[in-house]
Amino acid sequence: MLFLINRAEAFRDVQQQPSAATTDEAGKARAQELLAQARAAVGGENVLAGIKSIAATARSRSFVRYVLVKSPTQVEEREKVLKGKMKIEFLLPDKSRRVVSSSTLWGLRDTYTEVTNGTRAWRDPPLTAASSRRERHVIDVSDFEQSLAYQAQTARHNLEIYSLTWLLQAPPNLALEYRYIGFLTVDGTRVDTIEVTSSDKFKSYFLFDEKTHLPVGFVMNFVATIEDPVLIVPSPFDSRYRARLVAKARQEIASRSRPPWRFSVFVRFSDHHRIGGLLLPYRMTVTVDKRLYEEWKFSRFSVNGSLNPKNYKPPPQQK
């Protein structure tokens, strides 16, 4: 069972530990020491310097909770395991690509690609822009541009996690700052913690095993809402019954909605094996406030294999 200290408790512990960095410069220097130790643990500077490309494939299980409206008076809370797969690759120094395909509660498949190429990043296909107006059906240019910028930011952060975990380095175009903030305890094991700050001021927390110096995972904090989907059982074509069913679904949605709250996402890496001189994790789990949300198992890694540069070609600028 994964155990994640919430950030409020985590910072309280860090502040009380004598090992916590006392100055900003000392914290930055200690972070570089830990990164150097981690590079040595995964394979060493010579191995890492010789890597020109790395690719991997994985399969996933997502543990989804949802609400099923079976009739105007009957509602059930259910869980379902959704399966997916992923291919991720890095063409050094500054290109990366992640293709994700997963099943959905509605029986369809959701497939998308996140790509970075130098300073550019994007998602294909892009998500539909949400309106910032009171009239939700009105989408203006600023909504569209903001949506693309958010998707680019998300692609960078997602791929940044894998680059740091596998290669202990981020693409050169990402100006990341590292600062040691102390240690936490995960599953009874002490882990050193580095605060990673990106150029857009997003902060994540990179964890390292205190003894082996291997990367353990990341903690990220968000303020948002996570609501269980509400589904309706297909019903015979009866307009009145259908209206009552939809009304019950709306009632469930309203009763379960809550304001945005602060939660922690813990991405953990484990089950390391040596491939091409690198010690790489074959298992990744994602928990949201202690709840197991997703599990990834990698089946294949390829180091210095051939990758097609055309896969990183930016899409035409949308107008």
Give this prediction's pTM: 0.84
The SS3 call for residue 83 is strand
Q: Can you tell me the mean pLDDT for 42-57?
A: 96
Residues 86/100, Cβ–Cβ less than 8 Å: yes
- What residues contact residue 208 under an 8 Å CB cut-off, 6+ apart? 34, 37, 38, 191, 192, 193, 194, 214, 215, 216
> According to DSSP H, which parts of the chain are helical?
7-16, 24-42, 45-49, 141-167, 239-256
Tokens 């406030």 — which residue?
A: 289
Q: What is the pLDDT of residue 52?
A: 95
Strand 109-117 and strand 95-103: the pairing is: antiparallel
The most distant pair of C-alpha atoms in the chain lies apart, rounded to whole Å, by 71
Q: Which amino acid is at 221?
A: N
| pLDDT 10s digits, 155-175 | 988 888 999 999 998 887 778
Higher pLDDT, 12 or 116: 116
% of the chain at pLDDT higher than 90: 65
pLDDT of residue 19: 47
Inter-residue contact 57 to 300 (CB < 8 Å): yes
Q: Given this model, what pLDDT does residue 238 score?
A: 82
Range scoring the smallest mean pLDDT among 185-194, 200-209, 213-222, 299-308 = 185-194
The DSSP 8-state label assigned to residue 257 in this structure reads -
Residue located via tokens 């029986």: 107
Give the pLDDT of residue 127: 79
pLDDT at 307 over 90: yes
Average pLDDT, the chain: 86
For residue 84, which phi and psi values (nearest 5 degrees)? -150, 180
What pLDDT sits at residue 236? 72
pLDDT of residue 286: 96
Contact 94, 256 (CB under 8 A): no
6 pLDDT higher than 50: no
Q: Which two tokens stand for residue 146?
A: 């903001």
pLDDT beyond 80 at 318 = no
- Reading the block at residue 286, the tokens are 């994602």
Q: How do strand 215-224 and strand 261-275 relate by DSSP bridges?
A: antiparallel
What's the Cα-to-Cα distance from 292 to each of 61, 164, 189, 286, rounded to whole Å?
Answer: 10, 23, 19, 6
The predicted pLDDT at position 5 comes to 30
Query: 46 pLDDT exceeds 70?
Result: yes
Choice between 143 and 107, residue whose per-residue pLDDT is larger: 107
Q: Per-residue confidence at 147, pLDDT binned at 50, 70, 90?
A: confident
- The listed range with the strongest mean pLDDT (83-87, 123-127, 128-132, 288-292) is 83-87
CA atoms within 13 A on the CB side of 101: 5
Between 198 and 144, residue with greater pLDDT: 198
Q: How confident is the model at residue 18 (pLDDT cuts 50, 70, 90)?
A: very low
pLDDT of residue 84: 97
pLDDT of residue 12 exceeding 70, the answer is: no
Strand, coil or helix: 68:
strand
Alpha-carbon torsion (268, 270, 273, 279), positive or negative: positive
Cα–Cα dist 191/199, whole Å: 25
Q: What is the pLDDT of residues 246-287, one digit of tens each?
A: 999 999 999 999 899 999 999 999 999 999 899 999 999 999
Contact 194, 179 (CB under 8 A): yes
Distances (CA, A) of 51 to 35, 277, 283, 310: 17, 10, 22, 20
